[in-house]
Amino acid sequence: MRGAVIVAGVAVVGVVTAIGTGALTLIQRDHAADAAAYQTVSCNAALGPTTQGAPGTGAGDAARLTDEQLATVTSIIAIGKERKLPPRAWQIAIQAGMTESGLRPLDHGDRDSLGIFQMRPSMGWGTPAQVINPEYAINKFYDVLLTVPNWDTQRPGDSAQDVERSAYPDRYHRWEAMATHLIGDLGDVVNASGCGEDRGRLLPAPTKAAGEAIQFALGQQGKPYQWGALTTHQNSFDCSSLMLQAYRDAGISLPRTSREQWRAGAYLPVEKAQPGDLLFWARDTSDPRTIHHVAMYLGDGKMVEAQQTGVPVHIRSIEWTEGGLMDYAVRPGV
């Protein structure tokens, strides 16, 4: 799908993409220019570093895509670049397209749903001929995405759901790792998440944003615990909403729940946690699906948390051997 040549010392990639009528168009991209354009993308720790996540998950899923599916991904990225949209927009479109159609311009679907994103002509998405056309469908998806409040600061699958309005809102998260891998591979974006450089699963250096997140969390001491607290105000918190708002204040987007936040950064042994790192508790420490609590490490054996009903946001001591504590801490933004 791609071929690289060196022109005046700059790597230029030719990407062949099938759009609309199926005509092949060669799109050349300057790696240095692309990298500069995306340096200002805010960090979304829900994506993590480009190669972060379960080892090989994204690359493995991407390797199983057909030429037709890869052509759709290439079109999504090319149109996103032409419209000067950040990589997060491409991520959302790839996850939505893979979920809805397997990244294929289908001529059938539920009721009158058609095309890559299963758009319904009866709901005003366009004529049948239009929504089956990949170029039209991709542009239409981006048009609607840009009207979604906070589309670029929430988890990509949540933004995909805001566009698609599916009866199964969580299914878009399934392709998060694959979409991030494709952004890096076919999109030639070294760091699609906007977070720090990925140096592996164990990263010892703390982030600059950690200090700002700590200050926000400490400023909420004494406020009441409320399960399912809104993330749009600071009157009350549950454990994960406190972490989300603290890091959002520092310019880093975290997903909503403690189980999702477990996947929102790089891992390091819990005993080596640094200020700002997230600590997790689970009913079964061998199974992250049982995680039920998250707190922020402050250093010197202290942490800040929104613990439970009747207990306000507070600082407490942490013992590395206490029951239910996961073996790894998570560092958002790297």
Nearest by Cα to 125 from 134, 113, 135: 113
What tokens appear for 248 in the block? Answer: 């959002």
Q: Give pLDDT, residue 34.
A: 46
pLDDT above 50: residue 24: no
Confidence at 90, pLDDT banded by 50, 70, 90 = very high
DSSP-H helix ranges across 151-252? 156-164, 176-185, 209-218, 239-249
Instruction: Give residue 48's pLDDT.
Output: 55
> Is 156:92 a contact under the CB 8 Å cutoff?
yes
- Between 17 and 196, the more confident residue is 196
Higher pLDDT, 46 or 101: 101
By the 8 A CB rule, do 58 and 111 touch? no
CATH number of the 209-331 domain:
3.90.1720.10
- Distance between CA atoms of 211 and 218, rounded to whole angstroms? 11
Segment 234-267, tens digit of pLDDT: 999 999 999 999 999 998 989 999 999 998 888 8
**pLDDT number for residue 60:** 85
pLDDT band at 17 (very low <50, low <70, confident <90, very high): very low
Whether this model's pTM surpasses 0.75: no
pLDDT by residue (tens digit) across 155-177? 788 899 999 999 888 899 888 88
Position 204 scores a pLDDT of: 43
The domains of the chain are located at 2-185, 209-331
pLDDT, average across residues 90-111: 96
300 has pLDDT over 70: yes
